[in-house]
Amino acid sequence: MPRAQACDIIIDMKPTFGHCGLVTGNFTNRSATMPTGQQVLHAVSEGVIEGPWGNGRAFCFRSSGLSRAEAERIQNVANEIKGAAQYGAARAIFKSWTGSSKFGTGAFERLYKYRTNMQNSQGVLKNVYCSELVVVAYQLGLQINRQHASWIDLDGKHTLPSTLKTWLTGRPTNWTCMGMVTDDTLELSPV
């Protein structure tokens, strides 16, 4: 049975606004293939954690334009965020609603600030929620290249998981729903 791969995005729509995470894999071998998914990195009330999904059925989205090296960079950024950030409940409740999810000047300026923080070992973000973690990891991992096929053109600070799912679904040339993750094995079943 097929499984999720590193840097797949999984989105569960059961909670009112959803929950999402980034599938992580083992990049230690230098194979040319994308690593199979091992765990899920996501922001929850206990913090930013990497472990089993544990949320039941979730849609699994995969980018068609992502190289192994780019996926490794994205995963490294996500781990940097994990190392410095805590779950931002207020950010999830208030900031996700108070602005547009459209990628604009404010999002662009924040990304450059986050990149500078990361380069200076100051922690990418201090507070983060699930969909923001995924969007920012992709954007910084792709080196703020808006022309890249895997670029997520949303403002992570104002993006709910449901908004991210709608955006990914609307880009079938670059993003494919691979199926449903049904349990902690990250095996995929048809939608």
Query: Does a structural domain hold residue 175?
Result: yes
Q: Across residues 44-63, what is the average pLDDT?
A: 89
Per-position DSSP letters for 127-167, written without gaps between them: EE-HHHHHHHHHHHHTTT-TTSTT---B-GGG--HHHHHHH
Q: What is the extent of the structural domain holding 82?
A: 9-189
State residue 93's pLDDT score.
54
Query: Does a structural domain hold residue 51?
Result: yes
Alpha carbon dihedral 133, 138, 142, 145, in 10-degree steps, equals -100
Query: Does a structural domain hold residue 3?
Result: no
Phi and psi at 163, nearest 5°, equal -65, -45
Of the CA atoms within 13 Å of residue 174, those in its CB half-sphere come to 14
pLDDT over threshold 90, residue 176: yes
SS3 40: strand
- The structural domain count of the chain equals 1
> Are residues 115 and 72 in contact, defined by beta-carbon separation less than 8 angstroms?
no
pLDDT digits (tens, 9 = 90+) for 3-45: 999 999 999 977 667 899 999 999 998 888 899 999 999 998 8
> Are residues 41 and 24 in contact, defined by beta-carbon separation less than 8 angstroms?
yes
Query: Does a structural domain hold residue 115?
Result: yes
Query: Does a structural domain hold residue 80?
Result: yes
Query: Does a structural domain hold residue 4?
Result: no
Which residues does 40 contact at the CB level (< 8 Å), separation at least 6?
10, 21, 22, 23, 24, 50, 51, 52, 53, 186
Phi and psi at 87, nearest 5°, equal -65, 130
pLDDT digits (tens, 9 = 90+) for 99-119: 678 888 988 998 999 899 888
Using the Cα atoms of residue 158, residue 176, residue 147 and residue 42 in order, give the sign of their dihedral. positive
Instruction: Tell me the CA end-to-end span of the chain in Å, nearest whole number.
Output: 14
DSSP 36: B
Using the Cα atoms of residue 76, residue 78, residue 81 and residue 85 in order, give the sign of their dihedral. negative
Higher-pLDDT residue of 124, 20: 20
Query: Does a structural domain hold residue 33?
Result: yes
Query: Does a structural domain hold residue 2?
Result: no
State residue 120's pLDDT score.
86
What whole-number distance in Å separates Cα of residue 14 and Cα of residue 135?
20
